[in-house]
Amino acid sequence: MQRRTLLAAGAAGLFAPHLARAATWPEREVTIIVQYGPGGSTDVSTRAIAAEMEKILGVPVQIVNRPGGQGTVGPQQVAAARPDGYTLGTTGLAGLAIAPHMLDVPYSADSFAFLPAFARYLYGIAVRAESPHRTLADLIAAARAKRTTFGATGAPNNIGMFDLARLTGARFQFVPFGSGAEAVTAAIGGHVEAVIQNPPEMLPALESGRLRLLASASAGRWKEFPEVPTLREQGHEVVVDSMIGFIGPRGIPEERRAVLARAILEAAQKPALAEILGRFGMVPSLMQAAEFETTVRQAHDRFGPQLREAGLARKR
């Protein structure tokens, strides 16, 4: 009996240090790389999550902005980081599912350990107030009759318009802009006939009457314009979708991924986050790590043919 007790005690001693380390991890600051500059929706929402994660993890969570390369610099740095769980990033379909078709990037979905996603972006189609196109049907009819320009920053916005054109026989011509604000200004000035962008860039012009919203291009209606139906509700099976979630370098130990995932999910459910997301044209949308990864991989496969058909994919 005494020997059995000693063996049990010895076994417990062998496992105790490992359990203690797992229970107290992380032991130092966690860094989150944001793929865009300060002040935008991705940056502000990431900072809101990080502030809550600090309380949950008990260590500082630092934000580092790495804009550039159409949202690819941040993911590059995450993919190249040590897989110890101390370097993470936030990104979405633009960086992981779209940019790799357009740019020569040194990463793929296989380069990352996926963590939960927490929000989705909203999109809408609008025309200037003086436009003769009073409805989405008017805009489509005009684009069937002659080539009609629209402004956007790029994918996935423009892909939504390409899908709408393919389904309706409309001829939409994409005019790229460096920012959503520039695309909106061009639509107000009549330099393009329509614009498809996010609420933060469009709402001031919509609320002041300089733009008219024809459709929500997202899965649901905008809360600011609940009377304006979605593309689906108007008979067109098109949804422009993108989300924001966390990634780390491939190879993070599973027990550390579990700690990080729990912290992200808990932080994302704080009431303050919904208010912040609403101000930046986003909606809360919790997604487990496995679902986020599946969504990214499926979107990558779907966007490839669409970008090639539109002539936006890089030459191989």
Q: Tell whether domain 124-234 is in CATH 3.30.565.10.
A: no
- The residues, any chain, with a CB within 8 Å of residue 76's CB and separated by 6 or more, are 69, 105, 106, 107
**Tokens linked to 77:** 């740095």
Sheet holding 124-128, edge to edge: 172-176, 148-152, 194-197, 124-128, 211-216
Residues 88-144 have pLDDT tens digits of: 999 989 899 999 999 999 999 999 999 999 999 999 999 999 999 999 999 999 999
- CATH fold of the domain at 30-121+242-309: D-Maltodextrin-Binding Protein; domain 2 (3.40.190)
**Highest mean pLDDT (candidates 121-130, 177-186, 270-279):** 121-130
124-234 and 30-121+242-309 share a CATH fold: yes
Tell me the mean pLDDT in the region 150-174. Answer: 93
Structural domain boundaries in the chain = 30-121+242-309, 124-234
Widest pairwise Cα distance in the chain: 92
Residues 26-54 have pLDDT tens digits of: 999 999 999 988 887 888 899 999 999 99
Residues 244-253 have pLDDT tens digits of: 999 999 999 9
What amino acid is encoded at 232 in this protein?
R
Residue 23: predicted pLDDT:
54
Q: Can you give the C-alpha Rg of the chain in angstroms? A: 23
Sheet holding 243-249, edge to edge: 61-65, 30-34, 87-92, 243-249, 112-121, 282-287
Model confidence, pTM: 0.81
